[in-house]
Chain A
Amino acid sequence: MQHLDEGTIHSWLDGALSADEAAQVEAHVKECPQCAAAVAEARGFIAASSRILTALDNAPRGVVPVAAPKKRVDPIVWRVAATLLVVAGGTLVVFRSGGREAPIATTNADTSQNTIAGVSPTVPASGETKMTAESTPPVRKPANPTRGTTIGSLQPSAVLIEKSAVKGGAGGAAPPTSQALPAPTPGVSYSGVARAPASQTNIPARENQKVAAPVSGAVTGNISLSSGSARAAAPTQQTRSALRLRGATALDETGAQFPLKEVGHPRTLGVKVTLYEVAPGDTVTFTEPVSLQLSGVVVTGVGTEERMARQTAGKTAAAPAKRAAADAASAPDSGRPNPTVGAIAPAPSAPVPATRVEVANGVTTISWPDPTTGSVLTLSGRMPEARLQQIRIRIERERAAAAGKKKP
Chain B
Amino acid sequence: MTDVERLFRTYNAALVRYLTRRLGDRDWAEEVAQETFVRALRQTSIQNERAWLFAVATNLVRDEARKDMRRRKHLALLAEQERDEMVEPEETTIERAQEAAMARKAVDALAERDRLALLMREEGLDYNEIAEALELSPGSVGTTLSRARRRLVESYESLQKSREEREKNAAS
Q: Which residues of A contact B96 (CB under 8 A)?
A: 55, 58
Interface contact A6-B122, CB-CB below 8 Å: no
- Interface presence of A57 (CB below 8 A): yes
A258 and B104 CA atoms in complex are apart in Å by: 98
Proximity string of chain A (1-30) to chain B, C-beta cutoff 8 Å, 1 when within and 0 when not: 000011111110010100000000000000
Q: Which residues of A contact B135 (CB under 8 A)?
A: none
Q: Which of B21, B121, B146, B149 contacts A56 (CB 8 A)?
A: B21
- Interface presence of B150 (CB below 8 A): yes
Proximity string of chain B (130-162) to chain A, C-beta cutoff 8 Å, 1 when within and 0 when not: 000000000011111111111011001000000
Interface contact B26-A6, CB-CB below 8 Å: no
Q: Which of B27, B126, B144 contacts A66 (CB 8 A)?
A: B27
- A14-B126, A45-B150, A49-B118 are known; give 10 further A-B pairs, CB within 8 A: A10-B142, A42-B149, A45-B152, A49-B148, A52-B152, A53-B103, A55-B100, A58-B96, A59-B100, A62-B28
Interface contact B119-A45, CB-CB below 8 Å: no
Interface contact A55-B143, CB-CB below 8 Å: no
- Interface presence of A50 (CB below 8 A): yes
Proximity string of chain B (96-107) to chain A, C-beta cutoff 8 Å, 1 when within and 0 when not: 110110111011
Q: A7-B143, A56-B104, A61-B26 are in contact. Are A49 and B149 (CB under 8 A)?
A: yes
A6 and B145 CA atoms in complex are apart in Å by: 9
Interface contact B127-A61, CB-CB below 8 Å: no
Q: Which 9 A-B pairs have the closest CB atoms?
A: A7-B143, A11-B142, A7-B142, A55-B103, A10-B146, A16-B127, A45-B149, A56-B21, A6-B146
Interface contact B106-A52, CB-CB below 8 Å: yes
Interface of B is mostly: helix
| 19 sample A-B contacts, Cβ–Cβ < 8 Å, listed by A number | A5-B143, A9-B146, A10-B142, A11-B145, A44-B153, A48-B149, A49-B122, A49-B149, A52-B103, A56-B20, A56-B21, A56-B103, A56-B104, A57-B20, A58-B89, A58-B100, A59-B24, A59-B26, A63-B28
Interface contact A6-B143, CB-CB below 8 Å: yes
A48 and B27 CA atoms in complex are apart in Å by: 26
Proximity string of chain A (175-199) to chain B, C-beta cutoff 8 Å, 1 when within and 0 when not: 0000000000000000000000000
- Interface presence of B57 (CB below 8 A): no
- Interface presence of B29 (CB below 8 A): yes
- Interface presence of B43 (CB below 8 A): no
Interface contact B146-A42, CB-CB below 8 Å: yes
A8 and B127 CA atoms in complex are apart in Å by: 12
Least Cβ–Cβ distance between A307 and chain B, in angstroms:
69
- Interface presence of B72 (CB below 8 A): no
A45 and B142 CA atoms in complex are apart in Å by: 13
Which residue of A has the minimal Cβ distance to B101?
A55
Which B positions have Cβ atoms within 8 angstroms of A?
17, 20-21, 23-29, 89, 92, 96-97, 99-100, 102-104, 106-107, 118-119, 121-122, 126-127, 140-150, 152-153, 156
Q: A11-B127, A46-B149 are in contact. Are A53 and B119 (CB under 8 A)?
A: yes
Proximity string of chain A (134-169) to chain B, C-beta cutoff 8 Å, 1 when within and 0 when not: 000000000000000000000000000000000000
Least Cβ–Cβ distance between B125 and chain A, in angstroms:
10
In chain A between 37 and 88, which residues have their CB closer than 8 angstroms to a CB of chain B? Answer: 42, 44-46, 48-50, 52-53, 55-63, 66
Q: Which residues of A contact B150 (CB under 8 A)?
A: 6, 45
A394 and B4 CA atoms in complex are apart in Å by: 90
A53 and B17 CA atoms in complex are apart in Å by: 10
Least Cβ–Cβ distance between A311 and chain B, in angstroms:
74
- Looking at B24, B144, B146, which has the most chain A CB atoms within 10 Å of its CB? B146
Interface contact A63-B143, CB-CB below 8 Å: no
Interface contact B27-A53, CB-CB below 8 Å: no
Q: Which residues of B contact A50 (CB under 8 A)?
A: 122
